[in-house]
Structure 1
Amino acid sequence: MTITVLDSYTAMRATLTAPLAERPDLLRRMLEPTAGMYRYFPGTPDLVQLHHMGGGFRADRAVDGALAGLEALHDAQAWDRIEAAMKAALMVQLDATPDIRVPDIQVMIVLGDHADPHFMDVGLGMSGNGGISGYIWLAFWPSPENLARLEATAVHELNHNLRYSNVRWDPETVTVGEHVVSEGLADAFARHRYGDLGYTRIGVPSLHDNAVYDKVIGGLGIRGMQNFAAYVHGDAIAARFGGTPVGLPTGAGYAVGNRLVDAYLAHTGQQAPDALLVDSADVIELAIK
């Protein structure tokens, strides 16, 4: 079991300093080692298009300040910090759950697109995907808030990767409840390591909003990934990816997931690493009694 943080800095710098016409192919070559994270997509997805949709820097047009942003991320030692954080967190997790399956994990760090209002204003300049076993994708714009959370964000995604290397996720039958609880578990693990920096930023504004809590709780039984993005990510992010708004703010499911998992941990006396593989139905049952 190895965690490999890919040298995307060198590849991104080469991409951003190349003639514009050459940049998409250079970016595609950089992304190729993590193509397996899209293995459940129909057909052969375009890696550059998916990179752009996820908030990664543009390779199809020049964006002022992108190279400076990359250097700021590099100067903050993002690659070294994330690698160290993930390896230390893995040891903590294995102390609690020594028999879990741990895949070899490829970690791709990319510069976010600071010219994309959705990425910067809705997503607060950061995004991650760790739910596909063996792959973690992280996008950052190097604001002070995001640089402070590099380790916590990476550890959140590591928690997802370890959970879904051992717990089956079926896109057709998975529930809102499973996804919401998984976000709460990942934040709880990140908070176990880094305190309040472990809260996913988009969920913080709704942490104590009881109307948001009640609406998400009412949707916990909805099945099928295609049906529930807004309950987890909120209307604006769901709409970005073709989902249906339901009247929820950005990060609603993260806020509710934290409340559910905190209630579960308090009830059971467990720490976050102990709960990695807990059945989401058990969390919900105990938390909302």
Structure 2
Amino acid sequence: MEKLRVNLINSLEFYEKCLHGKGSENSFRYELMQPLKTMWDYLNVPLKAATPNGYDVVMASEMLGIWTPRKSIQQVSDNLSKLIETRIFEEYEEVIKKGVREFENIGYSIPLEEINLSILLGDEDSREMETNKGYSGFGGIPGYIMLMVVPNEFNKNRLKSALAHEFNHNVRFTFEPFNHGDVTVEEYLVIEGLAECFAEEIYGREFIGPWVENFDEEEMEYSREVIKEGRKTKGFAEVSAYMFGDEVAKKQGYNPVGLSANAGYTIGYHLVKEYLAKSKRSIAEATITPSGEIIRVSEFFN
């Protein structure tokens, strides 16, 4: 396998500029987000809206829980040094190398030449950040990863695991592309279950994300049955209600389906664990296995 390049976008330089009063919406667009333009283009998000206050990369970033210069600079003052102290800016390459080795071990050549990585400060006021205990990520477009962080005691040692999770998405979507309009509940379960099991394989159960809940047996069985009934449901908005649970569904305008927070992520994780146990395959092998086969072999909904 040829070496997979990791291009780290210099977000630290941008934040230092912000602290010296030189950060603006335009510098956010053209210095921090321009290197991700191919990703934003794929998502139909312009760097700058055609009309004032229109939908653009600043608004989209805020929706994802990313700090922008429209928010208080005090957040940067409070959190930048804490983010640096997590050491993720020193350790990101080793995370990707470890991930690549998992696939080298099964003889699989990842069809990517480079990954463009941006490690960003999250917005303390964001419901997205609050729900996920101060960190989140996006790896839905192969070759691009964003990690968003409001650093705290819970997440400071989990950022490598989160990056491994997003790296798995990158690899998975080169094998079985994500279809926003046609994705089914069961496909989304597999996507998220694979990513979290991959992160767990590399960094351990103790660093698993807060999106995998500790459901008791009754809650597990209930969630499994609700999701089983809706597992062929299609479309990102409809599927999101199953993945994120009723509280998020209501806030984002989706129809609630009677599930607790992160139910889909939790069920997806256990579904993939069942597949791995029954198939005796590695998590890397599972990552390049069709969703339908993972569902079938797992017997999770039988």
Query: Residues 87 and 240 (structure 1 numbering): CA distance in 2 closer, same or farther, change over 3 Å?
Result: farther
Residue 159 of structure 2 aligns with which residue? 150
Unaligned stretches of 5+ residues in structure 2 = 47-54
Answering whether residue 28 of structure 2 is matched by residue 38 of structure 1, we say: no
CA offset at residue 89 of structure 1? 1.5
After superposition, what is the alpha-carbon deviation per residue over 1:81-103, rounded to whole angstroms, capped at 9, x for unaligned? Answer: 22221122112222224234124
Q: Work out whether residues 207 and 259 of structure 1, in 8 Å CA contact, stay in contact via their aligned partners in 2.
A: no
3-state SS, counterpart of residue 155 of structure 2: helix
CA offset at residue 42 of structure 1? 4.0
Q: Distance in 1 between matches of 2:241 and 2:209?
A: 16
Q: Distance in 1 between matches of 2:110 and 2:129?
A: 36
Answering whether residue 226 of structure 2 is matched by residue 224 of structure 1, we say: no
Query: Residues 32 and 206 (structure 1 numbering): CA distance in 2 closer, same or farther, change over 3 Å?
Result: farther
CA offset at residue 125 of structure 1? 0.9
After superposition, what is the alpha-carbon deviation per residue over 1:130-165, rounded to whole angstroms, capped at 9, x for unaligned? Answer: 011111111011112111101100000000001101
Task: Give the TM-score normalised by the residue count of structure 2.
Answer: 0.87
CA offset at residue 222 of structure 1? 0.8
Residue 185 of structure 2 aligns with which residue? 176
3-state SS, counterpart of residue 24 of structure 2: helix
Unaligned stretches of 5+ residues in structure 1 = none
Q: Distance in 2 between matches of 1:55 and 1:63?
A: 15
Residue 13 of structure 2 aligns with which residue? 10
- Map of 1:20-39 to 2, 5 A cutoff? 22-29=23-30, 30-39=32-41
Q: Distance in 2 between matches of 1:284 and 1:121?
A: 32
3-state SS, counterpart of residue 109 of structure 1: strand
Choose which of 57, 62, 67 in structure 2 pairs with 1:52. Answer: 62
Q: Work out whether residues 126 and 141 of structure 1, in 8 Å CA contact, stay in contact via their aligned partners in 2.
A: yes
3-state SS, counterpart of residue 213 of structure 2: helix
Query: Residues 234 and 153 (structure 1 numbering): CA distance in 2 closer, same or farther, change over 3 Å?
Result: same
Q: Work out whether residues 130 and 158 of structure 1, in 8 Å CA contact, stay in contact via their aligned partners in 2.
A: yes
Report how many residues are paired.
Answer: 286
Query: Residues 48 and 145 (structure 1 numbering): CA distance in 2 closer, same or farther, change over 3 Å?
Result: same
Q: Work out whether residues 32 and 47 of structure 1, in 8 Å CA contact, stay in contact via their aligned partners in 2.
A: no
Percentage of matched positions with identical amino acids: 27
Look up the equivalent residue of 2:212 and give its one-letter code. G
Q: Distance in 2 between matches of 1:207 and 1:31?
A: 42
Query: Residues 240 and 123 (structure 1 numbering): CA distance in 2 closer, same or farther, change over 3 Å?
Result: farther
Q: Work out whether residues 12 and 27 of structure 1, in 8 Å CA contact, stay in contact via their aligned partners in 2.
A: no
Q: Distance in 1 between matches of 2:178 and 2:120?
A: 26
Task: Give the TM-score normalised by the residue count of structure 1.
Answer: 0.91
Q: What is the alpha-carbon root mean square deviation over aligned residues?
A: 2.1
3-state SS, counterpart of residue 273 of structure 2: helix
- Map of 1:170-209 to 2, 5 A cutoff? 170-206=179-215, 209=219
Q: Work out whether residues 187 and 199 of structure 1, in 8 Å CA contact, stay in contact via their aligned partners in 2.
A: yes
Query: Residues 99 and 121 (structure 1 numbering): CA distance in 2 closer, same or farther, change over 3 Å?
Result: closer
Q: Work out whether residues 161 and 199 of structure 2, in 8 Å CA contact, stay in contact via their aligned partners in 1.
A: yes
Answering whether residue 272 of structure 2 is matched by residue 261 of structure 1, we say: yes
Q: Distance in 1 between matches of 2:215 and 2:228?
A: 14
